[in-house]
Structure 1
Amino acid sequence: MKKIKIAYIGGGSKQWARVFMYDLALVNDLCGEIGLYDIDIESAKRNKAIGENINKAPNVVTKWDYKVYSDLDSCLNNADFVVISILPGSFNEMRVDVETPIKYGIYQSVGDTAGPGGVMRALRTVPFYEEFAKAIKRICPKAWVINFTNPMTICTKTLYDVFPEIKAFGCCHEVFHTQDFLCDVLKEEKGYRPNRNEIYTEVSGINHFTWITSAKYKDDEIFDYLDDYIDKHFKEGHYEHGSNEQYKTDPFAYANRVKMDLYKRYGVLGAAGDRHLVEFFNNNWYLKNPEMVNEWKFALTSIDFRVNQMYERIQESKDLASKKKPIELKKSDEEAVDLMRAILGLTSKISNVNLINEGQMPQIKLGSIVETNAVFTHDSVRPIMAKPLPEAVLAQVNRCQTNVETLYEGIKNRDLKTVFASFVNQPLCSNLTLEDAKALFKEMCEKTKDYLTVYNLDDLNSL
Structure 2
Amino acid sequence: MKNIKIAYLGGGSKQWARVFMTDLAVSEDLEGEIALYDIDIESAVCNQKIGANINLSPNTKSHWDYTMCENIEDALKNATFVVISILPGTFNEMRSDVHAPEKYETYQSVGDTAGPGGVLRSMRTVPIYEFFAQKIKECCPKTWVINFTNPMSICTKALYDVFPEIKAFGCCHEVFHTQDFLCDILKEETGIDAKRSELYTDVIGINHFTWITSAKYKNIEIMDYMDDYINKFYEIGHYEHGPADAYKTDSFAYANRVKMDMYKRYGVLPAAGDRHLAEFMNSSWYLDSPKQVADWKFALTTVDFRVKQQHERIEESIEMAEGTKPVEVKKSDEEAVDIMRALLGFSTKICNVNLPNVGQMPGYPLGAIVETNAVFSNDSVNPITAKPLPIAPTNLIMRCLYNIENLYEGIKERDLDKIFASFVNQPLCSKLTLTQANELFKEMVMNTREYLDEYYELDEYFDK
**TM-score normalized by structure 2?**
0.99
CA contact (8 A) 1:361 1:385 kept: yes
In structure 1, distance between residues paired with 2:35 and 2:460: 40
| Structure 1 residue matching 2:213: 3-state secondary structure | strand
1:457 aligned partner: 458
Aligned to 1:315: 315
Distance (whole Å) between structure 1 residues aligned to residue 18 and residue 328 of structure 2: 11
Once the two structures are superposed, what CA deviation does each residue of 1:186-230 show, in whole Å capped at 9, x if it has no partner?
001000121101010000000000000110011100010000000
Structure 1: give runs of 5+ residues left out of the alignment.
none
CA offset digits 1:321-379 (Å, max 9, x no partner): 00110121111000000000000000110000000100000121011000000000000
Aligned match of 1:353: 353
Please tell me whether the aligned partners of residues 5 and 79 of structure 1 are also in contact (alpha carbons under 8 angstroms). yes
Task: Give the aligned residue type for 2:95.
Answer: R
Name the counterpart of 1:423.
Answer: 423
What's the counterpart of residue 155 of structure 1?
155
Aligned-residue offset at 1:458: 2.5
Could you say what secondary structure the match of 2:236 adopts? coil
Name the CA distance, whole Å, in 2 between partners of 1:191 and 1:126: 47
| SS in structure 1 at match of 2:386 | coil
* Map of 1:21 onto structure 2: 21
One-letter code aligned to 2:456: Y
Task: Supply the RMSD in Å over aligned alpha carbons.
Answer: 0.7
Structure 2: which amino acid aligns with 1:458?
D
State the TM-score, normalized to the length of structure 1.
0.99
% identical aligned pairs? 68
**Take 1:124 and 1:162, find their aligned partners in 2: how far apart are those partners?**
16
Distance 2:424 2:272 in 1: 24
Instruction: Sort the Cα spacing of 1:239 and 1:127 in 2 relative to 1 into closer, same or farther, 3 A.
Output: same
Question: 1:243: how far off?
Answer: 0.2
Q: Is the 8 A contact 1:417 1:459 kept in 2?
A: no
1:123 aligns with 2:103: no
Aligned partner letter, 2:136: I
**What are the equivalent positions in structure 2 for 1:4-403 lying under 5 Å apart?**
4-403=4-403
Amino acid at match of 1:456: E
For 1:379-436, what per-residue CA distance to the aligned partner results, in whole angstroms no more than 9, with x for missing partners? 0000000000110001010000000000000000001110000000000001111111
Structure-1 separation of matches of 2:439 and 2:207: 28
Read off the aligned partner of 1:210 and give its amino acid letter: T
- Amino acid paired to 2:282: N
Tell me the alpha carbon deviations over residues 296-335 of structure 1, each in whole angstroms, 9 at most, x when there is no partner. 0000000000001011000000000001101211110000
CA distance in 2, matches of 1:131, 1:408: 15
Aligned partner letter, 2:295: E
CA deviations 1:35-59 (Å, max 9, x no partner) are 0000000100000000000000011
CA distance in 1, matches of 2:383, 2:460: 40
SS at match of 1:214: strand
2:406 matched residue in structure 1: 406
Note if contact 1:82-1:143 (Cα within 8 Å) is conserved in structure 2.
yes
Distance 1:329 1:83 in 2: 20
Amino acid at match of 1:425: N
User: Alpha-carbon deviations, 1:249-278, whole Å to 9, x = none?
Assistant: 000000000000000010100100000000
Equivalents in 2 of 1:164, 1:203: separation in Å? 25
How many matched pairs?
463
Query: 2:387 & 2:193 partners in 1: Cα distance?
Result: 25
Shift of 1:459: 4.3
1:70 aligned partner, one-letter code: E
SS at match of 2:161: helix
Cα distance, 1:461 vs structure 2: 2.6
| Conserved 8 A contact 1:442-1:460 | no
Structure 2 distance, partners of 1:443, 1:389, is 38
Q: Specify the SS of the correspondent of 1:164.
A: coil
Structure 1 equivalent of residue 435 of structure 2: 435
Counterparts of 1:443 and 1:52, CA distance in 2: 45
Contact 1:46-1:318 at 8 Å conserved across structures: yes
Letter in 2 for 1:89: G
